[in-house]
Amino acid sequence: TPHLGNYLGAIQNWVNLQEECSSVLYSIMDMHSLTMPKEPAVLRQNILDTTAAILACGIDPKKCFLFRQSLVPKHAELAWILGCLTNVPRLLRLPQWKMKRASQNNEGTVGLLTYPVLQAADILLYKSTHVPVGEDQVLHLELAQDIAQHFNKKYGEFFPVPKAILSTTKKIKSLRDPTVKMSKSDPQKLATVNIADSPDEIVLKFRKAVTDFTSEVTYDPASRPGVSNLVSIHAAVTGLSIKEVLHQSAGLDTAHYKMVVAESVIQKFAPIRNEIKKLQEDKSHLIKVLEDGAEKAKELAAPIYQEIRRLVGFQ
Ligand code: AMP
């Protein structure tokens, strides 16, 4: 299930993009997910839960392409072709390879090393022009840009070089350590607020949020990261500015303020949480959404991939 950071830093922007742009594609990246070990039953469930969550957040399959990556096998086929244009040392230098390999405590799999090439295929298979990314993905998008240029040089101008749409939202920080970003892999359960958390869980997590020994509510991320993170969250979920939030909170101590922020988060996510639950009960609907989306994506990709096959000499 997405967390507060995913929602405020990414999903909210995706909902806006589908309103503002035509031909927007979103994919549940189940093939990428395999790079981190998972039980099959867990992966199966995660695919449906993620789909329920992003639909509940407002991604609308009528306004965009929403599909499951592994249902469009051309992603993997194109990744092979692009992999043959990519140097291994370039992949070895990517920080995600080092970080994720370290977190898995093993020497690293071929999948983990080459998934950025699969990401390039995810983008280029549709001749995508823009990709919404977080800062942590900028290097991978640069790889996709380089691969596109390399392909164009070798086989003739074909792929647009995709541009990044960088999220302008400030990083939401962990509630247990406000010097690091909120993350789904944080082992501390109280650090991360999931958008489907119950009101009780949300209250508990904010009550235990790490602040400091000053009780006033101020915004100064460098010297008061804990309380400033609460102010950022409060502003983001209410749509108010930092100044307005501080004005409203004048006179509150941080203990009371934590409960105000918890309440604003509960209010914001109550309808989404209810919708997630409703959607999770209708498994066949979720499966159909992903399958219908995959059919549409396949149609879009087919002529592009056909041309790629011709360009590389498969036809
Ligand atoms: P992840 O699940 O970590 O791959 O994150 C998916 C996307 O969510 C990232 O590309 C970011 O744009 C966004 N995101 C993740 N964590 C945060 C965070 N703590 N604050 C803001 N945005 C975030």
Q: Could you tell me the CA-to-CA distances from 312 to 81, 149, 153, 302, 315 in Å, in that order?
A: 8, 15, 12, 16, 8
CB distance 259 to 238 below 8 Å: no
For residue 161, report the distance from its CA to the centre of ligand 1, in Å: 24
Q: State the pLDDT at residue 135.
A: 84
Please identify which of the residues 74, 100, 171, 173 carries the catalytic annotation: 100
Q: Tell me if 310 CB under 6 Å of ligand 1.
A: no
* Residue whose CA lies nearest to ligand 1 atom number 14: 6
Mean pLDDT lowest among 23-37, 67-81, 99-113, 300-314: 99-113
The total number of residues written for the chain in this structure: 315
Alpha-carbon span 207 to 62, nearest angstrom: 40
Domain spans of the chain? 190-278
Closest by Cα among 104, 128, 110 to 36: 104
Closest by Cα among 256, 282, 272 to 197: 272
Burial of 23: CB neighbours in 10 Å, binned 0-12, 13-18, 19+:
exposed
Neighbours of 168 (CB within 10 A): 7
Which segments of the chain does DSSP mark as H helices, in order? 4-6, 12-20, 30-33, 40-56, 74-83, 88-92, 95-104, 110-124, 138-155, 199-207, 225-238, 242-249, 254-280, 283-312
Q: State pTM to two decimals.
A: 0.93
Could you read off the pLDDT of 271-284 as tens digits, one per residue? 999 999 999 999 99
Please identify which of the residues 98, 153, 184, 278 carries the catalytic annotation: 184
Q: In the annotation, is 127 catalytic?
A: no
Q: State the pLDDT at residue 103.
A: 83
Alpha-carbon span 168 to 173, nearest angstrom: 15
Could you read off the pLDDT of 25-82 as tens digits, one per residue? 999 999 999 999 899 999 999 999 999 999 999 999 999 999 999 999 999 999 999 9
Q: Which residue carries 């992949």 as its tokens?
A: 91
Instruction: Judge whether residue 102 has pLDDT over 90.
Output: no
Q: Is the dihedral of CA 93, 75, 43, 7 positive or negative?
A: positive
Testing ligand 1's pocket by substitution, the residue of 3, 4, 6, 176 carrying the most ligand atoms inside 8 A of its CB is 6
Instruction: Judge whether residue 105 has pLDDT over 80.
Output: no
Q: In the annotation, is 100 catalytic?
A: yes
Could you read off the pLDDT of 127-147 as tens digits, one per residue? 999 999 988 899 999 999 999
For the chain, the average pLDDT equals 96
Could you read off the pLDDT of 189-239 as tens digits, one per residue? 999 999 999 999 999 999 999 999 999 999 999 999 999 999 999 999 999
Q: Tell me if 2 CB under 6 Å of ligand 1.
A: no
Neighbours of 249 (CB within 10 A): 22
Q: State the pLDDT at residue 87.
A: 97
Residue 27 is which amino acid? S
CATH H superfamily, domain 190-278: Tyrosyl-Transfer RNA Synthetase (1.10.240.10)
Residue 88 is which amino acid? V
φ, ψ at 267 (rounded to 5°):
-60, -45
Q: Tell me if 199 CB under 6 Å of ligand 1.
A: no
Alpha-carbon span 98 to 92, nearest angstrom: 8
Alpha-carbon span 141 to 162, nearest angstrom: 8
Q: Tell me if 205 CB under 6 Å of ligand 1.
A: no
Residue 213 is which amino acid? F
Confidence label for 168 from pLDDT (cuts 50, 70 and 90)? confident
Q: State the pLDDT at residue 76.
A: 98
Alpha-carbon span 49 to 264, nearest angstrom: 24
